[in-house]
A and B are shown apart, each in its own frame.
Chain A
Amino acid sequence: MGPKKLKSVSYAKYGYIFSIPFVLAFLIFTAYPIFYTAVIGFTDLKGLGKTDFKFLENPLQNFEAVWKNPSFQKSLENTAIIWICNFIPQILLALLLTAWFTNQRQKLRCQGAFKVLFYMPNIITAATIAILFNTLFGYPMGPVNDLFQMLGIADGPTEFLRDKWTAKGIISFIQFWMWYGQTMIVLIAGVLGINPALFEAAEIDGATSRQVFFHITLPSLRTIMLFTLVTSLIGGMQMFDIPKLFLNGGPDSATLTVSVFIYNQAFSGSYLYNRAAAASMILFVIIAILSGILFYLLRDKDAGKLKKQMRELKKPRRQQGGQRHET
């Protein structure tokens, strides 16, 4: 009697009540600003301290102007290049280290210490890292220049930060260096989540470490790797702190990313909030489309596989049923 009576009291309203703070904060600080940004994209809002605006006669004027702006195109290209040059080595090194750290036959010592050290750069303020690397690559005096001359790699000091591709490369390296540890820890956790029976079976069948890695570990990590890819992409497209403080988009816009472009449009020069808002929306759409594509690939295959399995499970049952009917 007791529990029944308890159930008849409805607590459902507390589900709503306890969700109110989250929903309110989301609406005020995320949903409304996105909507407002979108609106500003269609207006003439510019100039320091201005908040009043009129809608433009040609509503797409800002979007067209941004899309055709060579700086914006350059920033899109730079963002893509820097992200790809960081992500590919990052995931490859993380996979290699994952294979080493989870190899049961050849256990490495001090794994805990290595993990702590590999992850460390991730927790340090990106702003600090940007300026630190700027100082490390100083010219004509700087630790990297000194090191290169000490090791005999270079004869005289090199002006690293003047070269466009070196500058891009260093930013890619910083991103790679900050994130491979995190990716590795995530992948190792993924491997530890794989059913141990799979590895035991492979052991009994006499599979080599390499075969185990390529035929069991890697396929099982597919979902986690795609998830890493999506989060890294969303983060990478918004890259701001490091390109902004490392060389402020230079030399000659070689490290100008989309976020730095947006910042510079809105908060320097003639304070073009409307153009910056339009650029933000374009970036939003690009990120949404790219993650949409990746999620589609991720979901479709898994769901497809599941459907196939279900069908296969159903088939024999149906046949059996049919046979039963016949007899």
Chain B
Amino acid sequence: MRRESTLVGRTVSKTIKYIVCIFLAILSIMPFWIMMMNATRGTYEIQQNSISLLPSTYLISNFKVFEGKAFNPMVGFKNSLIIAGGATVLGIYFSCLTAYALVAYQWRLRQPFFTFIMAVLMIPAQVSGIGFYQFMYRIGWTNSYFPLILPAIAAPAMVFFMRQYLLGALSIDIVNSARIDGANEFYIFNRIVLPIMKPAMATQAIFAFVGSWNNLFMPMILLTDKAKYTMPIMVSLLRGDIYKTEFGAVYLGLTLTVLPLFVVYFALSKYIIAGVALGSMKE
């Protein structure tokens, strides 16, 4: 009797768990699904019923709404690609270099420097915005990509992650034998250490890229030239009055900004989830 009731109880609890998980999964998908379906539907269709699980045939005509308007997904895509790509490459390379300095060499300020990195890890980025803007305005770097790319050289969180990885992966014997062969330190770092760090670089590259791609605050205050706008600024244009009645076009615009991220996410989701889990081991 008792065994049976616990068995029933277990089945019920398991069913509840699945229902909750499936509900949450639908909650994740639904907004984007409605968005993508409405991107292919006409304004009249959307006004009649704004939820549809199936696409329609107005994709091209929705696309034509963007012609001659400030919202230009291609330009936004290109600009964001340059900025996020540049920031990712610089961030990865110099974080590896800094981590290598922290792991491979015995120098007096090593420990204080590491403590310093841990301390600045928590500095909120936005509080320096006004000074940053004024500084860049003075040296004529507004509407330039440099202030959006170069700060990536100092990425404390990434240095920390690379250091943790390097502590486990680097064997000082390899470095020493390269030294005996006469290799200089720069050569050793570029040719021997960097290849060892490939897995850590891949994980961090995804997060660095997505973080830079999604950034709104800094590009919004620095870039005033429409030809330089990044994807998130392009998105913000969709709030404008010209799109108040073009529902299909708004949904299409949003979809275009999300599509590249979806492709990256579903292609690399395994590594991304593993990376999030790894990032938690900060203690």
Q: Do A and B bind each other?
A: yes
A residues touching B (Cβ–Cβ < 8 Å)?
Answer: 2-3, 6, 11-19, 21-26, 28-30, 32-40, 45, 49, 51, 97, 100, 106, 108, 110, 112-121, 123-129, 131-136, 138, 141-143, 145-147, 150, 177, 181-182, 185-190, 192-193, 223-224, 227, 230, 234, 237-238, 240-241, 244-245, 259, 262-263, 266-267, 273, 276-277, 280-281, 283-284, 287, 291
- Are B101 and A127 in contact, CB atoms less than 8 angstroms apart? no
- Are A146 and B51 in contact, CB atoms less than 8 angstroms apart? yes
**Residues of B with C-beta under 8 A to A143:** 34, 50-51
- Are B210 and A15 in contact, CB atoms less than 8 angstroms apart? no
In angstroms, Cα B31 to Cα A177, docked, is: 11
Contact with A along B170-181 (1 / 0, CB 8 A): 000000100110
In angstroms, Cα B189 to Cα A280, docked, is: 40
With A21-B98, A143-B34, A223-B283 as known contacts, state yes or no: A128 contacts B154, CB within 8 Å: no
- Are A245 and B257 in contact, CB atoms less than 8 angstroms apart? no
B218 to chain A, nearest CB (A): 10
**Residues of A with C-beta under 8 A to B235:** 125, 127-128, 131, 245
Contact with A along B108-127 (1 / 0, CB 8 A): 11100100000010111111
Q: B62-70, B194-202, B269-277: which one contacts chain A?
A: B269-277
**Residues of A with C-beta under 8 A to B18:** 108
B1 within 8 A of A: no
B10 within 8 A of A: yes
**Residues of A with C-beta under 8 A to B238:** 131
- Are B122 and A291 in contact, CB atoms less than 8 angstroms apart? yes
**Residues of B with C-beta under 8 A to A129:** 31
List 18 other contacts, CB 8 Å, given A23-B154, A35-B131, A106-B10.
Answer: A2-B180, A14-B185, A25-B94, A33-B131, A39-B131, A45-B134, A51-B134, A100-B21, A120-B265, A123-B210, A125-B214, A127-B232, A128-B232, A143-B50, A145-B50, A190-B280, A245-B216, A277-B131
- For window 39-71 of B, CB contacts with A under 8 Å fall at 46-47, 49-51
A53 to chain B, nearest CB (A): 9
In angstroms, Cα B277 to Cα A192, docked, is: 10
- Are B265 and A123 in contact, CB atoms less than 8 angstroms apart? yes
Contact with A along B190-219 (1 / 0, CB 8 A): 000000000000000000001001101100
With A30-B120, A189-B281 as known contacts, state yes or no: A284 contacts B239, CB within 8 Å: no
- Are A116 and B282 in contact, CB atoms less than 8 angstroms apart? no
* 17 pairs, A vs B, C-beta closer than 8 Å: A16-B107, A22-B95, A37-B130, A40-B131, A100-B21, A108-B18, A127-B214, A127-B235, A132-B31, A132-B32, A177-B27, A186-B279, A189-B278, A224-B280, A240-B216, A245-B216, A259-B126
Q: Name the residue of chain A whose CB is nearest to the CB of B210.
A: A123
**Residues of A with C-beta under 8 A to B257:** 125, 127-128
B201 to chain A, nearest CB (A): 16
- Are A21 and B261 in contact, CB atoms less than 8 angstroms apart? no
Number of interface residues of B (CB under 8 A): 98
The 10 closest A-B pairs by CB, nearest first: A36-B131, A37-B131, A15-B107, A15-B105, A25-B153, A18-B101, A189-B277, A25-B154, A29-B151, A186-B280
In angstroms, Cα B31 to Cα A135, docked, is: 10
- Are A22 and B123 in contact, CB atoms less than 8 angstroms apart? no
> Which of the residues B27, B108, B261, B276 comes within 8 Å of A125, measured between beta carbons?
B261
In angstroms, Cα B159 to Cα A323, docked, is: 51
B residues touching A (Cβ–Cβ < 8 Å)?
Answer: 10, 13-14, 17-18, 21, 24-25, 27-29, 31-32, 34-35, 46-47, 49-51, 94-95, 97-98, 100-102, 104-110, 113, 120, 122-135, 137-138, 147, 150-151, 153-154, 156, 159, 176, 179-180, 185, 189, 210, 213-214, 216-217, 221, 231-233, 235-236, 238-239, 247, 250-251, 254, 257-258, 261, 265-266, 269-270, 272-273, 276-283
- Are A141 and B47 in contact, CB atoms less than 8 angstroms apart? yes
- Are B28 and A120 in contact, CB atoms less than 8 angstroms apart? yes
A229 to chain B, nearest CB (A): 13
A211 to chain B, nearest CB (A): 16
**Residues of B with C-beta under 8 A to A182:** 276
A121 to chain B, nearest CB (A): 6
Q: Name the residue of chain B whose CB is nearest to the CB of A186.
A: B280
With A16-B109, A131-B239, A267-B221 as known contacts, state yes or no: A26 contacts B50, CB within 8 Å: no
Q: Name the residue of chain B whose CB is nearest to the CB of A224.
A: B280
In angstroms, Cα B123 to Cα A281, docked, is: 12
- Are A12 and B107 in contact, CB atoms less than 8 angstroms apart? yes
- Are B236 and A287 in contact, CB atoms less than 8 angstroms apart? no
Q: Name the residue of chain B whose CB is nearest to the CB of A108.
A: B17
With A21-B94, A40-B131, A273-B134 as known contacts, state yes or no: A6 contacts B101, CB within 8 Å: no
**Residues of A with C-beta under 8 A to B270:** 112
- Are A37 and B50 in contact, CB atoms less than 8 angstroms apart? no
A118 to chain B, nearest CB (A): 6
In angstroms, Cα B138 to Cα A273, docked, is: 14
- Are A106 and B13 in contact, CB atoms less than 8 angstroms apart? yes
In angstroms, Cα B32 to Cα A276, docked, is: 36
A150 to chain B, nearest CB (A): 8
**Residues of B with C-beta under 8 A to A16:** 101, 107, 109
- Are A266 and B213 in contact, CB atoms less than 8 angstroms apart? no
In angstroms, Cα B258 to Cα A30, docked, is: 30
With A116-B269, A117-B25, A287-B124 as known contacts, state yes or no: A33 contacts B132, CB within 8 Å: yes
With A6-B180, A266-B130 as known contacts, state yes or no: A22 contacts B47, CB within 8 Å: no
